[in-house]
Amino acid sequence: MLTLTPQQLEMVQRPIGEHCFLEGKAGCGKTTTAVERLLFLMENGVPAHQILIYVPQRTLAQPYRQALAVPGVMAGGAVNILTLGGLARRTIETFWPLVVEQAGFGQPDEWPVFLTLETAQYFMAKLVEPLLAQGFFASVNVHPNRLYSQILDNLNKAALVGFPHTEIGERLKSAWSGSAGQLSIYDDAQTCANLFRSFCLEHNLLDFSLQVEVFVRYLWQNPLVQETLQQQYRHLIADNIEEDAPVSHDLLRQWLPAFESAWLIYDHGGGYRVFLGADPLSAYALKSACEVQVTFETSFVTDACLQRLEQTLLWTFGQPPPPPAAEAPAPPVIPLFERFYPQMLERVADEVTRCIQEDGIPPSEIVLLAPYLTDALRFSLSNLLEKRQIPLRSHRPSRALREEAVIRCLLTLAALAYPQYLPPKSFQDFDLMTALLQAIDDLDAVRACLLTNIVSRKNDGLPSLSSFEQIQADVQERLTYRVGERYERLRRWLEEARAAEPEELEIFFVRLFDEILSQPGYGFYHNERAAELTANLAESARKFRLAFRESMNVSLEERNREYLRMVQEGLIAAQYLRSWQAEQEDTVLISPAYTFLLSNRPVQVQFWLDIGSSGWYERLFQPLTQPYVLSRRWQAGRQWTADDEAQVAEQNLQRITLGLVRRCRQRIYLGYSEYSAGGYEQRGELLRVLQDSLEGFVQAI
């Protein structure tokens, strides 16, 4: 067992059978205590399968998962770690027949299909595209893909906040303070949401919003279901409830009396997932439902110096000034100010190196934080650190599958097997060259180019490959016979696939990988990354296939074509959660600031990159949706104004700066360049706040 303070120990060993509300700032040891409590419960005879760990998103359960992964801990069944979505889905799967007609699904004899974000976006696109041509959303300037995701987002908000989805448009309209001409977009958004919901009901499709609604409105209200759940889960640990949505809190409030024991854990200053429906106030209201209420005050993370920084930050945000200090500590903040962006990155890399080599700080105790993590930033820093022999890993946001060279290789080869799926004239020799370069081992770029120039054919606009034997002998020699042999085998395989009846794409990709690309002599042989990406692609194609019901009358050909088009248009993301937790741990981490805040992990040293950027505190601006207006707290009929906006920016700034400081043990480096990567002068508010509070830090001595 870890060394716990007497207060923590007392908490862990409290009698089983209480309902307890544990609160405190980040870094006070709440989750550490709760993890010990979990182990305590199990050691004291509570069967693991009766315990429910309930979190707003999966990453927040990481400390529990780690504790349970220790050999010998998990005896007598598995602890259930669930989110609201997970619980909803599991319950719907079990009790589907009870709800299918009541919830208005169109096919009572069929099982449900759970849509992924991508397949939901696909169907949304299918329904909305014709409306765009009719002039829907004419007054907004947004890429259609983002329109679709915002309409889905509105549906999710309605489900998570708990109001009928038919009210979305009216709510947004009544809060609108801009030009009346813009109001019609909310009507359009409502029409699209309605259309999508009817389509889902008709075909038994459940997107996230419908899963939550069906669970909350029908299944949870059903006594049989409630009883089953109450019997199944006897003990609850709900962590980070401040990051969860109101319907989740409603559920907990109703369920709470039935739990034999329950811990609700609340983090002061949280609420980072507001744009995903989080509502810290409705979470805090659960406090009164618990008979035991405990607050942890002391931080185990920050030292006196960082605590002083926290106080001066609070003072900048309008709280009373910190008490005068007896001596003059140096601020735990080190500015790295440069003129140009790449210079700042170089400085950061130097300082990271110094921290590791001179101060002996383990790489895993260093995190590089940016408001947005672009590929260019990650790539630049990873190059700079690689030169200094420092490994870097990233929590990178999802990106389109087609960005991956391996995926592009597979798509190009698929195009050769199924040229009929391609839009006319879209096949490019450069793609063939890079596909061959990757597919055939020992083939270099020059020969790949030579080979492409010779074998690439277009018959009636459709691409095909000619055989190696047809090439002149001297050129064959230039290409080498070994390459020729491998090329020929690949070509014949594609030819056979082309001649045969079309098959499901997922099967095609897996076969291509198994039978050719992963074989000795080919590029994916012993290439884990390529295997993983091929699996991702096949999995995404499979999910896409499963989303279609027979009742939709969509042929295999049409589905395959649609799938390839979606990947090409970037709608399909490589967002399969890979086990980044299991990656080598002793590396420097680079992460978007919010992702780091939601990973519950303090570190010794933080680097804040690009503190001049406004991305640190600006909320996500999306013209079709509005998390605050669609929240439960919003007064009907009130208008959302620029003052509200300014207040939110200030709150975000406060939340993020304090959140980060509370998760830092030693010091913070501030990376700033006068000009941003794009060459613009940067003057974000974070810069001002830091300036003010550092002045305060020094003055208040």
Partner 1 sequence: MNIQLRPAQLEVTAYRSGKMGVLAVPGSGKTLTLAYLAAELLTHTTLQRGQEILIVTLVNSAVDVFTQRIRALLEQRGLLPLNFRVRTLHGLAHDILRERPEVVGLDERFVILDEAECNRILESAVKSWLHQHGDQLLDYLDEALTPAEMRKIQRKDLPELVQEIASAFIRFAKDHRMPPGQLRTKLDQLPFPLPLLEMGASIYADYQRSLTYRGAVDFDDLVRLAYDALQWDTQLLERLRQRWPYILEDEAQDSSWTQEQILRVLVGESGNWVRVGDPNQAIYETFTTANPKYLRHFVHEAGVIQRHLPNSGRSTLSIMELANQLVRWTMTQHPIQAVRDGLQGPPFITPVPADDPHPNPPDDPAQIHLHPKKQTVEEEIKTIVHSLKRWLPAHPDWTVAVLAPTHDLAIKVVEALKKENLPFEDSLLRSSASTRRTAQRLRDILQALADPLSANKLATAYVAWRLEDYEDPLLRSQVISDKTLLQRCAQVETYLYPTYAEDWLAEICPPQGEESPAIPLAQQETYYRLARFRQQMHRWLDAILLPIDQLVLTLQGDLFAEPAELALSHKLALMLRQASDANPQWRLHNLAQELAVIAENERRFLGFSRDDNGFDPQAYAGRVVVCTAHKAKGLEWDRVYLISVNNYDYPSGAPYDTYKPERWFVRGRLNLQAEALAQFEWLIAPNETAFPQEGQATLQARLDYVRERLRLLYVGITRARRELVITSNTGRRGDKQPALAFVVLSEYWKKVHAQPAT
> In this structure, what token pair is assigned to residue 419?
């040229």
For residues 90 and 114, is the Cβ–Cβ distance under 8 A?
Answer: no
Q: What are phi and psi of 451, to 5 degrees?
A: -60, -45
Residue from the set 249, 347, 447, 559 that interacts with partner 1 by CB under 8 A = 447
Closest CA to 309 of 685, 32, 652, 670: 670
Chain-centre distance for alpha carbon 75: 32
Q: Toward partner 1, which CB reaches closer, 550 or 621? A: 621
Count Cα neighbours of 322 within 13 Å in the Cβ-side half-sphere.
25
Span from 114-122, 190-198, 323-331, 380-388 in contact with partner 1 (CB under 8 A): 380-388
**Which helix or strand (DSSP H or E) is residue 52 part of?**
strand 51-54
CB of residue 190 vs partner 1: minimum separation in angstroms?
16
For residues 49 and 77, is the Cβ–Cβ distance under 8 A?
Answer: yes
Angstrom distance (rounded) from CA 501 to CA 490 = 18
What does the angle CA 222 – CA 228 – CA 230 come to, to the nearest 5 degrees?
Answer: 100
If one asks whether residue 375 binds partner 1 (CB under 8 A), the answer comes out as yes
The CA-based dihedral angle spanning residues 561, 564, 570, 571, taken in that order and rounded to the nearest 10 degrees: 60
Residue from the set 438, 631, 657, 682 that interacts with partner 1 by CB under 8 A = 438
Angstrom distance (rounded) from CA 87 to CA 218 = 14
If one asks whether residue 341 binds partner 1 (CB under 8 A), the answer comes out as yes
Span from 29-37, 257-265, 373-381, 390-398 in contact with partner 1 (CB under 8 A): 373-381
> In this structure, what token pair is assigned to residue 477?
């020699």
If one asks whether residue 511 binds partner 1 (CB under 8 A), the answer comes out as no
Angstrom distance (rounded) from CA 79 to CA 249 = 21
Task: Count other C-beta atoms under 10 Å from residue 264's C-beta.
Answer: 26
Q: Toward partner 1, which CB reaches closer, 184 or 194? A: 184
Span from 100-108, 291-299, 436-444, 504-512 in contact with partner 1 (CB under 8 A): 436-444
> In this structure, what token pair is assigned to residue 266?
């609340």
Span from 37-45, 251-259, 431-439, 571-579 in contact with partner 1 (CB under 8 A): 431-439
The contact pattern for partner 1, residues 85-124, with x = CB under 8 A and - = no contact, is: ----------------------------------------
CB of residue 10 vs partner 1: minimum separation in angstroms?
45
CB of residue 491 vs partner 1: minimum separation in angstroms?
21
The contact pattern for partner 1, residues 564-593, with x = CB under 8 A and - = no contact, is: ----x-------------------------
CB of residue 117 vs partner 1: minimum separation in angstroms?
18
Closest CA to 486 of 449, 456, 516, 509: 516
Site for partner 1 in 160-199 (CB under 8 A): 177-179, 182, 185
Closest CA to 54 of 226, 236, 198, 283: 236
Dihedral sign, Cα of residue 630, residue 272, residue 394, residue 611: positive
For residues 195 and 653, is the Cβ–Cβ distance under 8 A?
Answer: no
Phi-psi region of 645 (alpha: psi -120 to 50; beta: other; left: phi over 0): alpha
Site for partner 1 in 668-697 (CB under 8 A): 675, 677-681, 683, 688
CB of residue 153 vs partner 1: minimum separation in angstroms?
11
**Cα Rg, the chain, nearest whole Å:** 28
| Residues 6 or more apart in contact with residue 37 via CB below 8 angstroms | 11, 12, 237, 263
For residues 250 and 162, is the Cβ–Cβ distance under 8 A?
Answer: yes
CB of residue 377 vs partner 1: minimum separation in angstroms?
10
CB of residue 485 vs partner 1: minimum separation in angstroms?
15
CB of residue 460 vs partner 1: minimum separation in angstroms?
20
CB of residue 405 vs partner 1: minimum separation in angstroms?
4
For residues 596 and 394, is the Cβ–Cβ distance under 8 A?
Answer: no
Residue from the set 131, 140, 258, 700 that interacts with partner 1 by CB under 8 A = 140
CB of residue 620 vs partner 1: minimum separation in angstroms?
6
Angstrom distance (rounded) from CA 563 to CA 540 = 9
CB of residue 180 vs partner 1: minimum separation in angstroms?
9
If one asks whether residue 69 binds partner 1 (CB under 8 A), the answer comes out as no
If one asks whether residue 396 binds partner 1 (CB under 8 A), the answer comes out as no
Place of tokens 């309930």: 54
If one asks whether residue 453 binds partner 1 (CB under 8 A), the answer comes out as yes
For β-strands 664-673 and 462-465, DSSP reports them as unpaired
For residues 31 and 2, is the Cβ–Cβ distance under 8 A?
Answer: no
If one asks whether residue 141 binds partner 1 (CB under 8 A), the answer comes out as yes
Span from 12-20, 199-207, 217-225, 442-450 in contact with partner 1 (CB under 8 A): 442-450
Q: Toward partner 1, which CB reaches closer, 75 or 642? A: 642
If one asks whether residue 312 binds partner 1 (CB under 8 A), the answer comes out as no
Q: Toward partner 1, which CB reaches closer, 89 or 347? A: 347
Residues binding partner 1 (CB under 8 A): 135, 138-144, 146, 150, 177-179, 182, 185, 339-343, 375-376, 379-380, 383-384, 403, 405, 426, 428, 430-431, 434, 437-438, 444-447, 449-450, 453, 478, 480, 568, 614, 618, 620-623, 626, 641-643, 645-646, 675, 677-681, 683, 688
